[in-house]
Structure 1
Amino acid sequence: MKPLRILIGAETYPPDVNGAARFAERLATGLAGRGHEIHVVAPSPTGPAVREVRDGVVVHGVRSHRYYQHDGFQVCMPWEAFPAVTALMDEIDPDVVHTNAHMVVGRGVVRAAHRSGRPLVATNHLMPENLIGYSPIPKPLQRVFNTWAWRDLGRVFGKAAVVTAPTPRAVELLVRHAGLVDAFPVSCGIDADRYRSVPHSPGPEPTVLFVGRLDQEKRVDELVRAFAALPDGLPGRLEIVGDGARREEWTALADALGVAHRVRFRGFVSEQELLEAYAGADLFCMPGVAELQSLVTLEAMAAGLPVVAADAMALPHLVRPGRNGWLYTPGDVPELTTRLAALLGDADTRRRMGAASRDIVAAHAIDATLDRFEGIYDQVLGREQVTARAA
């Protein structure tokens, strides 16, 4: 297709470490690699406004502030972000605008694109329920907040010509709670070859791996409790990659359960160390209950790992019970223990399920995702719009 100038709006972008940031980066660098001129507008990682070129992408950091309840997370103020985003929209003059958020920077991007008549695409990665843990909202008001937040998302993204989400389950939430009745799924995509580049190098004991933020919705405490309940004499180790507000609490839990010597909390790691962690693991576990796709689960599958995951949100789209892993009922620690034990004690099943993971992940190739979004950009430029209506 003809090279385009594309502005991508994001509420989080590397060096932030989370799925939405990783997707925004892969989308931006992938499109830049296809010859498009890509500009990303996101909160500054350091506070002051900044502009830099990374991997062929111009990243415009909007003035931001440290969020008081989450170390290392930057947020923007509307009265600073909205005029800054409007000025950038006029300066960059994009052919297409693609927002991946609707909070502050994303909202500013939508407002500026809508008011100037620029074609707008929106992709949702957020469950408003996940914000509760980082807010001072009293428990009796949380249900009201969630209802309002979904409707607010619908009002903002309802201005887009096309709305997408990573999975059918994520789309279902947009339709049901935000009223975006024409939203449709486009996988976040993954460069599977990258996760096959490091040969599998298992250690002397089979290793269970978790990768992600150590925050409430990830439920890593259930994984630690399940691991501690494994049968005596069954060899195994647990590697936990990532950081977050619950790390200290869950480290203490492993100690209290008597498995601290077999559980390793690694914190944040480099990209190369992450590839090596996948290569050194024997199975992957995702106990989170708020995954709209779970990029780390896709990465583990690309590395050839069987997966044990919570039967929640979009994880059943990735885990086919008995084929590439097992699902378990969220909160059912004994069931999780049973699933982990079955795989830790059976190398042949691990190999068979790991091979199936690689087969399944082929449907999520990043090139297919980039093709799909290029097709969507062509649609909105040709005014063949798939309108996302707020019901």
Structure 2
Amino acid sequence: MKFWIVGGAVRDQLLGAAVNDHDWVVVGATPQQMVELGFTPVGRDFPVFLHPQTKEEYALARTERKTAPGYHGFAFHADPGVTLAEDLARRDLTINAMARDDGGTLVDPFGGERDLRAKVLRHVSPAFAEDPVRILRLARFAARFGDFTVAPETEALMRQMVQAGEADALVPERVWQELSRGLMEAHPSRMFEVLRGCGALSRLLPEVDRLWGVPQPAAHHPEVDTGVHLLMVLDISARLQAPLPVRFACLCHDLGKGTTPSDEWPRHIAHEARSVGLLQGLSARLRVPSDCRELAEVVAREHGNVHRSAQMRAATLVRLFERCDALRRPARFDDALFACECDARGRLGLEDKPYPPRERLRTLLDCARGVDTAAVAAHTAERGLSGPAVGEAIHQARVEAVKACLATTALP
């Protein structure tokens, strides 16, 4: 029986990166032996155990065989005769198919260390094609390691997988899991470049794929192409360390531009409403969490108004706050402003330009929220009014508060 650290921990150690957790493979052991050593069995599909002290996962060395389409269609075989090399051979990328023992000996049968030095993402074997999740995983690794390239033979294999319909077998939860993780990497644009390059983006996120080749007015978008703009927005969101809901809102904010008739280019009248409808469909299909979906809807609908907010009067600003539910949910509105800033700065040559609307609207919202609504309601009741009249009185009080703020406060 021998224990090996495998996969990401070995890769990250070779890269000089922090190693946050370890995956272990056990060669030459049976499940009974693991239990006798105090390990707790947790694997349902194949033998995985928790260490009695560290609680790290230890899996018995195994092989796998494709039995049906999709990523669920595998049969696993684990017994004491399965070698370390056989276990590593079933892994996705060469950089993830290395192992170390407790003495530091590196086992690297597929050239993972070489590919790390060359900054190449390469599949281990033709078995890569048996699991469509590997397309998403590779794209996510491209987002993590932004200066890595995809080996030409690996990109060709992914294209063949897409053409064979393997990507269509992916379940929504797994697509969202990998997509959300890729959005949170340092270079999320790379994920979408890789998916688009092999044809998977058009199958998994056609609403996003349609944005390439669609022009925008150069006066506002020096980069012109809507798809290029999207990638810039995503990378700005990563640079500013935005949370996942903000990054998802960035991904979906301009979806409607992909459905603008070509004879209306480069203008995109009413694309905001189309964006909302498209992202609602996308969110339902991938079962996107409600916090991501709801923020994305606000941003898709209102980002143009936020950009133009310096020209708005007090009444218009309060209506904006009300549509965004900002008076009740100021933290979500702040996230919406964050996404709008990413949109404004995700443009060629504007990456470092300040975005005054964010601080300006924060200040004005504070003024509106500072209205004593209980006092306004009581005063309205004293006048013999109730129901909608109370709501209108509160609305007008907020308009007056914002008007006073505009008149007396130095705003950006």
Q: TM-score scaled to structure 2, two decimals? A: 0.27
Which is higher, the Rg of structure 1 or of structure 2? 2
Higher relative contact order (CA 8 A, sep 6+): 1
Q: TM-score scaled to structure 1, two decimals? A: 0.28
